[in-house]
Amino acid sequence: MSVDAPTVRKIARLARLRLDEGEVEPLAGELTHIMGWIEQLGEVDVTGVEPMTAVMPIALRWREDAVTDGEQADKVLANAPDARHGFFAVPKVIE
Amino acid sequence: MRDLTGLTIAQLQTGLRAREFSAREVAGEYGAAVEAARGLNAYLVETPELALAAADAADAALASGTAGPLAGVPLGIKDLFAVEGVPTTAGSRILEGFRPPYESTVTARLRADGAGVLGKLNMDEFAMGSSNETSAYGPVLSPWRSRGSNEALTPGGSSGGSAAAVAANIAAGATGTDTGGSIRQPAAFVGIVGVKPTYGRCSRWGVVAFASSLDQAGPMARDVRDAAILLQSMAGFDPKDSTSLDAPMPDLEAALTGDLRGLRIGIPKEYRVDAMPPAIDALWTRGAEMARDAGAQVVEVSLPHTKYALPAYYIIAPAEASSNLARYDGVRFGQRVQPFGGTLADMYEATRAAGFGREVKRRIMIGTYVLSAGYYDAYYLQAQKVRALIARDFERAWEQCDLLLTPTAPSAAFALGDKSADPIAMYLNDVFTVPSSLAGLPAISVPGGVDQAGLPLGLQVIGRPLDEAGVLNAGFALERAAGFGAKADRWW
């Protein structure tokens, strides 16, 4: 499995990571190396095996549909790089 | 004068209750020791004021007879745990300046039992690494050096700061987290004890997430008894973590008898990997003898899918990480980079490019790749199925044995820079710890001896789900038989 430069650019875009053009080729090489090593998983016979999503057999719990938390807008916003008028502020999204 | 930082937690408990010294004296000595050991780069943030405040409360509680089990015990906290009001970075630039307005359940439990917080401990960025070299704040130096050498060695990772702090007596004990070996491998590298509990024993609430189906907090301590004392406090059901186990924890300290009679200890033959250093092989053989001497029956068992554990892990963990780390977008907390005139998407991309280090970006890329359309079935789904087979291997092994004995890591501590050029060489360091992580099993690393260069080597005991008591007791038997007791010569 070879991960080429266009694939790296596409994945970086999906992951919202800006890459400098100089980073693309080295990363393609690294990912090819790592994915090549991971390829060996393909040789395992998994016929009839259910994928494992949780290691301990627990069921998700139910709780009362009651308010347990809230009214902490100041605390929630305290770590924001830019907060104004009780909101997170971001660059303009709509023209 | 007695060196209070040289005492175990159990010895501190006894001395404090007998009024041989006060909690304030203990906290004061630790504060000075932390400051004097800055050359190790183990602490990212020092909080002597929190340790002293807890000590004063502990002294008052000791006087009035209301002291909790950890009253007057100063601990180091891995920088992955939120401690209210104290900077929490997870070793990353992207969380620079973040001060959690809440407390992780694990640290809340420790502090409610009387423990003090000495500070936040350095770690690999977002716990992704095995040498502490991916930290944005520089690597931690191991207090250990090879005999006759001044070369800087890794304390292991990702809980490298925790390991170095406990080994160098600048914390009485520490919290760690283990996703694929991040408690056990560093414990082995610095000659201390580390426990990864059963998945779900310690709440993940308030712990920065790496790979949520694998992440598990645990103690790092000078000896097995201290690890038992800390784990007893850290573990417990928490409704705020949906995967928290609602299961009673037995009295762990009381389980430390060192008697292994009637137990069968399995030696998994697939762990005898190529190019295993002779010192590790000899340690493993010696460990089996020690288990036998303690009354156990040693049997060979097979875990046939062992060789697929690492590649499966390097699909599952990055996949979960790529999803978990999507939250670092420069909007709600941490760093923001806003290119002039750029859009919201430009801000996301620039923030993440500037905030994440190389290894984190690499894993986000792998995770995004294996989850992307067209590759999901071939990689992610396949890895989850292999994970099921690895768990099944262990279930079958439990028909023939009660505990498993393996080396913790395939080598002693290596030099900084030794493995940073090849990611796979670094990943291979977790070859013995990753399978039990994938299966969610409890495991301990205890120091078993030293190699020819005088560096510590660890033995790992793995147990059935929820059998922390059995794992700790076997570790206790090995610890007693090995009589390790070595400390790094102080150079820092």
Q: Tell me: the pLDDT tens digits for B111-157?
A: 999 999 999 999 999 999 999 999 999 999 999 999 999 999 999 99
pLDDT at A53: 86
**Contact at 8 Å (CB) between B62 and B71?**
yes
Residues of A in contact with B328 (CB under 8 A): none
Give me B61's structure tokens.
């509680």
Using 50, 70 and 90 to split pLDDT, how confident is the model at B375? very high
Q: Chain B residue with minimal CA distance to A73?
A: B101
Structure tokens at B216: 């598990």
The letter for the amino acid at B124 is D
Q: What pLDDT does residue B421 have?
A: 83
CB-nearest partner of A17 from B344, B349, B388: B349
Residue B372, in any domain of the structure? no
pLDDT tens sequence across B278-325: 999 999 999 999 999 999 999 999 999 999 999 999 999 999 999 999
Identify the H or E element spanning B314: helix B309-324
Beta-carbon contacts below 8 Å between A and B: 159
Q: How far is CA B5 from the centre of its chain?
A: 21
User: Is B431 part of a structural domain of the chain?
Assistant: yes
Q: Would residue B34 count as lying in a domain? A: yes
- Minimum CA–CA partner of A23 in chain B: B358
Q: Which of A41, A72, A92 sits opposite B308 (nearest CB)?
A: A41
Q: Report the run of H or E that residue B24 belongs to, with start and end.
A: helix B23-36
Q: Do B424 and A35 touch (CB under 8 A)?
A: no
Q: One-letter amino acid identity for B107?
A: T
Strand spans (E) along B27-73: 43-46
Q: Which domain holds residue B79?
A: 4-261+407-482
Q: Residues near B354 by Cβ (< 8 Å), separated by ≥ 6?
A: B93, B94, B335, B337
- Residue type for B269, please? K
The Cα angle at residue A39 between residues A41 and A12, in degrees rounded to 5: 120
Residues 50-89 of B with CB under 8 A from A: none
Q: Is the pLDDT of residue B43 over 80?
A: yes
Structure tokens that stand for B12 in this block: 């501190």
Quote the radius of gyration of chain A (alpha carbons, Å). 23
Strands of B116-121's sheet, edge to edge? B43-46, B116-121, B74-78, B173-178, B216-221, B193-196, B443-450, B456-463, B403-407, B264-268, B297-301
Beta-ladder partners of B299: B266
Give the tens place of pLDDT for each residue, B237-270: 999 999 999 999 999 999 999 999 999 999 999 9
> What is the three-class DSSP state of B293?
helix
Among B349, B372, B382, beta carbon nearest to A41: B382
Tell me, what DSSP letter sits at residue B301?
A: E
Smallest CA–CA distance, residue A26 to chain B, in Å, is 11
B244-252: long-range contacts (C-beta < 8 A, 24 or more apart)? Answer: B244/B200, B244/B203, B244/B204, B244/B205, B245/A56, B245/A58, B245/B198, B245/B200, B245/B201, B245/B466, B247/B466, B249/B201, B249/B468, B250/B469, B252/B228, B252/B468, B252/B469, B252/B472
Interface test with A, best of B369, B379, B426 (most A CBs within 10 A): B369
Angle at B216 between CA B97 and CA B448, to 5 degrees: 110
Q: A79 to chain B: which residues are within 8 Å by CB?
A: 97-101, 332-334
Residue B336 maps to a domain: no
User: CB within 8 A of B55, min separation 6: which ones?
Assistant: B22, B23, B24, B26, B27, B28, B72, B74, B116
The answer to whether B101 contacts A61, with C-beta atoms less than 8 Å apart, is: no
Strand (E) or helix (H) holding B34: helix B23-36
C-beta separation of B397 from B301 below 8 A: yes
Q: Is B98 helix (H, G, I), strand (E, B) or coil?
A: coil
CB B115 within 8 A of CB B70: yes
How far, in Å, CA of A42 to CA of A37, rounded?
A: 11
CATH value at residue B253: 3.90.1300.10
Does residue B30 carry a pLDDT above 60?
yes
pLDDT score for B1: 56
B147 within domain boundaries: yes
- Outline where DSSP puts E strands in B222-348: 264-268, 297-301
Q: Which of B101, B200, B336 sits opposite A56 (nearest CB)?
A: B200
- Cα–Cα distance, B380 to B319 (Å, whole number): 8
SS3 content of chain A, % helix, strand, coil (to 5): 40, 5, 55
Residues β-bridged to residue B219: B175
CA B177 to chain centre: 4
- For A42-74, the pLDDT digits (tens) are 999 999 999 998 888 878 889 899 998 899 999
pLDDT score recorded for residue B356: 98
The total number of structural domains in chain B stands at 1
Confidence of residue B85 (pLDDT cuts 50, 70, 90): very high
Supply B6's token pair: 């040289």
| DSSP helix, strand, coil percent of chain B (3-state; round to 5) | 40, 15, 45
Average model confidence (pLDDT) across chain B: 97
pTM score above 0.95: yes
A60 at B interface, C-beta within 8 A: yes
> Quick one: pLDDT at residue A95?
64
Which pLDDT does position A93 carry in this prediction? 81
| Pairwise CA distance, residues A8 & B56, whole Å | 56
